[in-house]
Amino acid sequence: MNPREPLSQVVAGMAQSPLLHLGVTLVAFMLALWINKRARGTPFLHPVLLAILMLIGFLLLTGIDYATYFAGAQFIHFLLGPAIVALAVPLFDHSARIRREFVPLMLACLAGILTAVGSTFLLVRWLGGGEATLASLLPKSVTSPIAMGIAEQIGGFPALAAGLVLVTGAIGCALGPLVFRLLNIKDHAVQGFALGLAAHGFGTAHSFTISNLAGAFAGLSMGVTGLLSAFLIPLLMRLFS
Amino acid sequence: MNLLAGFALLLLCQLLGEALVRLSGLPVPGPVLGMALLLIWLLTRGQVSASLRGASEGLLRYLPLLFVPAGVGLINHALLLRQDFWVILVTLVVSTLLTLVVTLVTLQGLRRWMGKSDESA
């Protein structure tokens, strides 16, 4: 038999355990889904944002630091890589339509990126934000792994950029349905494309809840926006500052 | 249905993507290049195996959950967030709104315009 441990020691040990943080993340997300459903799917209570807030609250209450939490939650985070690769499947399913509309899609993508970067630049300057804030905000519409690289290159904080990318994603998902109604846009492909551009992976995940078609076009615009931005943003930064 | 083969293919594509990023020095994440590789493979093959489809759909169904652990990392930037809170919030909301509108209007406009020129041709 193993030696018995006192309860306090067991509790302290479990607070460090990846099992707790993995489990807590899953439970928080399920709870967030349930609350969102109760609120009739309002995008202002987006499940991802709710889950993040609940987990931040949990860490603040228990005094567990983020590194300890992430040691457990990284198993979920790891799946993000293969999930991005998996986007090739819906893209392949809709490749005929993408090929047919290639030119308008790419031009819309370019217009969207220039708007995202240009308006961020002007707004931060106009509102008096600092340089580090600007550099962390510029890649906000870009999928987080690329955004972190861009932020680092132009003098922002990579981790902050990643966080702001997520907040942008939630805001995009909240605003999307309102804008679709206002502009009377019913085509799922167009809806998905705009969400993937403005709100990257977050918008892509949201688009898959609209339809598979919306998800495929969101994945496309997320990928192209990421690739183009990685070259464009550092270049624009050099031109304007 | 054997999902393992599909999942292994996803991991292999990501691995190749990561390797290519290191070899080329491109400022692009490995998974995005992996996605491009898988797409090229699917286009040359012309079909998606049941295994790959199962693994992909399983992952994509839970895509929102996968963003949660990184998002909790915002907790480490409380200070800067508080300092520039309003600048950041206003910028995020207004710029995201503008981006959505410009993208939608451009895409919808171009499709209509090109659709019409196709019909007249």
Express each pLDDT in A195-206 by its tens digit.
Answer: 999 988 888 988
**Read out DSSP for B23-80?**
HH--SS-HHHHHHHHHHHHHHHH-S--HHHHHHHHHHHHTHHHHTHHHHHGGGGGHHH
Give how far B1 is from chain A: nearest CA, Å: 17
Q: Do A76 and B69 touch (CB under 8 A)?
A: yes
Please say if the pLDDT value at position B18 is more than 80.
yes
Question: Which of the four pLDDT bands, split at 50, 70 and 90, describes residue A67?
Answer: very high
Residues of chain A contacting B105 with CB distance shorter than 8 Å: 183
Query: Does the structure show a pLDDT above 50 at A96?
Result: yes
Q: Give B15→chain A minimum CA distance, Å.
A: 10
pLDDT at residue number A218: 93
- CA dihedral (A38, A74, B13, A157) in degrees, to 10, reads 90
Q: ipTM of this predicted complex?
A: 0.87
d(CA B16, CA A59): 36
Question: What value does the mean pLDDT of chain A take?
Answer: 87
A192 pLDDT tier (thresholds 50, 70, 90): very high
Indicate if the pLDDT at residue A167 is higher than 80.
yes
pTM of the entire predicted model? 0.82
Q: What is the pLDDT of residues A113-150, one digit of tens each?
A: 999 999 999 999 999 888 888 888 888 888 777 787 77
* Greatest mean pLDDT range, A12-16, A96-100, A170-174, A191-195: A191-195
User: What pLDDT score does B112 carry?
Assistant: 83
CB contact under 8 A, B86 and A59: no
